[in-house]
């Protein structure tokens, strides 16, 4: 809980910090569209290269971005494996027999438990995970000793492999882009930017100031609520609720024991906050002056032009290649 980095601003002074938040938000949308236009793995790799270049010029450490990706690791691994195992288009690359014998089954179970109990003390968890997965696969492929209970086949097709990498890269690029936005934009600026980017929605009678206020307050209260969740977890842990381990049923109970107090506290909190806001003369929908203002500079024009060039390039690639 403590290490959540989504939406965290890290002070810095590269050009990414000097771009107007409106530019960053619009560029983010444009670049996402551009990424979704791409159709082949080569282009996606080129895209990843450009993103790495952006990180390098913008002096953003890859480690920060990796921290932003970590909560999505499960999703990444899942989509990756899914494509590899079940996409059967293209030419067959690998076709090996998996031997489930009286020797290999206990062996992989042992490996699994070994991983379960050692993963906590290993530093490179992801690497370790892949190491164990390849160990298990090697056992199933190469050890054909003992009475065979069952046989399976591991077949990998060229399209499956390509799609697996393609989708994974696309996800990584998109999350990296959003992480760049939140890492380099102060919450206040992000909010102002969103408010003015949303402004065109006014013609559909959407109250954009109110949406911006809701977003601002959400941003403001995320750290407070996380603190609260931590406190409750500690309190529940001292009453014997174990948040780290357990079966699915226990997990559900743990989550309930967290959510119920969180819900009650948030309710009280929002009631008090609403009172405090009204006491300070806040009237929903009424005009307000603003302390913070945004300034468009030539840097923004350049940044936005580059984003558009990227978009047109990927549209061209889509049409002509």
Partner 1 sequence: MNSIEIKNVSYQYQPNKPVLQEINLTIKKGEWVTILGHNGSGKSTLSKLIIGLLKPKTGEINVNGIPLTQETVYDIRQKVGIVFQNPDNQFVGVTVRDDIAFGLENLQIPREEMIERIETYARKVNVLEYLNKEPHALSGGQKQRVAIAGILAMHTDIIIFDEATSMLDPKGRNMVLETMKQLRHEGKTIITITHTMNEALLSDRIVVLKDGRILKEGSSQTILKDKTTLEKSNLEMLLPLKVLYDLEQENYTNKRIKDLLWELSLNV
Which residues lie near partner 1 (CB under 8 A)? 186-188, 191, 216-217, 219-220, 223-224, 227, 269, 272-273, 275-283, 286-293
26-63 burial, b for 16+ CB within 10 Å, e for fewer? bbbebbbebbebbeebebbeebbeebeebbeebebeee
CB of 37 or CB of 197, closer to partner 1:
197
Closest distance of CB 64 from partner 1, Å: 18
Residues 6+ apart with CB under 8 A from 242: 250, 254
DSSP secondary-structure letter at 286?
S
For residues 292 and 189, give the distance between their C-alpha atoms in angstroms, rounded to a whole number: 8
The two three-digit tokens of residue 274, written as one number = 């609403």
Closest distance of CB 292 from partner 1, Å: 7
For residues 108 and 83, give the distance between their C-alpha atoms in angstroms, rounded to a whole number: 23
Closest distance of CB 218 from partner 1, Å: 10
CB of 23 or CB of 185, closer to partner 1:
185
CB of 17 or CB of 43, closer to partner 1:
17
Residues 6+ apart with CB under 8 A from 134: none
CB of 145 or CB of 264, closer to partner 1:
264
Q: Taking the CB of residue 182, how many other CB atoms lie within 10 A of it?
A: 18
What percent of the chain is helix, strand and coil (3-state, nearest 5)? Answer: 70, 5, 25
Closest distance of CB 23 from partner 1, Å: 20
Residue 247 main-chain phi, psi, to 5 deg: -80, 175
Closest distance of CB 211 from partner 1, Å: 16
DSSP secondary-structure letter at 38?
-
CB of 244 or CB of 293, closer to partner 1:
293
CB of 238 or CB of 287, closer to partner 1:
287
CB of 95 or CB of 272, closer to partner 1:
272
Partners of 157 in the β-ladder: 92
Closest distance of CB 284 from partner 1, Å: 11
CB of 49 or CB of 284, closer to partner 1:
284
């Amino acid at each position: 809980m403590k290490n959540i980095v989504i939406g965290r601003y890290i002070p810095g002074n590269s050009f990414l910090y000097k771009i107007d938040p409106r530019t960053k938000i619009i560029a983010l949308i444009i670049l996402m569209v551009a990424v979704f236009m791409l159709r082949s793995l080569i282009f996606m790799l080129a895209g990843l290269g450009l993103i790495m270049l952006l990180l390098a010029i913008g002096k953003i450490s890859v480690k920060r971005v990796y921290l932003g990706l970590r909560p999505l690791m499960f999703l990444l691994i899942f989509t990756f494996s899914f494509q590899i195992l079940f996409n059967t288009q293209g030419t067959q690359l690998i076709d090996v027999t998996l031997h489930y014998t009286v020797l290999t089954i206990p062996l992989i179970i042992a490996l699994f438990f070994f991983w379960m109990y050692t993963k906590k003390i290993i530093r490179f968890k992801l690497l370790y995970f892949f190491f164990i997965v390849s160990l298990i696969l090697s056992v199933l492929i190469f050890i054909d000793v003992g009475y065979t209970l069952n046989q399976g086949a591991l077949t990998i097709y060229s399209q499956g492999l390509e799609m697996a990498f393609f989708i994974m890269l696309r996800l990584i690029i998109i999350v990296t882009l959003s992480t760049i936005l939140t890492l380099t934009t102060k919450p206040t600026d992000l909010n102002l930017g969103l408010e003015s980017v949303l402004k065109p929605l006014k013609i559909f009678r959407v109250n954009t100031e109110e949406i911006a206020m809701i977003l601002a307050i959400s941003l403001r209260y995320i750290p407070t609520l996380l603190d609260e969740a931590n406190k409750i977890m500690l309190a529940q842990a001292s009453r014997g609720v174990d948040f780290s381990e357990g079966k699915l049923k226990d997990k559900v109970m743990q989550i309930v024991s967290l959510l119920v107090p969180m819900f009650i506290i948030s309710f009280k909190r929002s009631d008090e906050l609403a009172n405090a806001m009204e006491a300070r003369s806040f009237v929903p929908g009424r005009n307000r002056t603003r302390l913070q203002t945004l300034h468009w500079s030539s840097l923004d024009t350049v940044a936005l032009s580059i984003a558009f060039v990227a978009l047109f390039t990927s549209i061209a690639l889509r049409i002509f290649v």
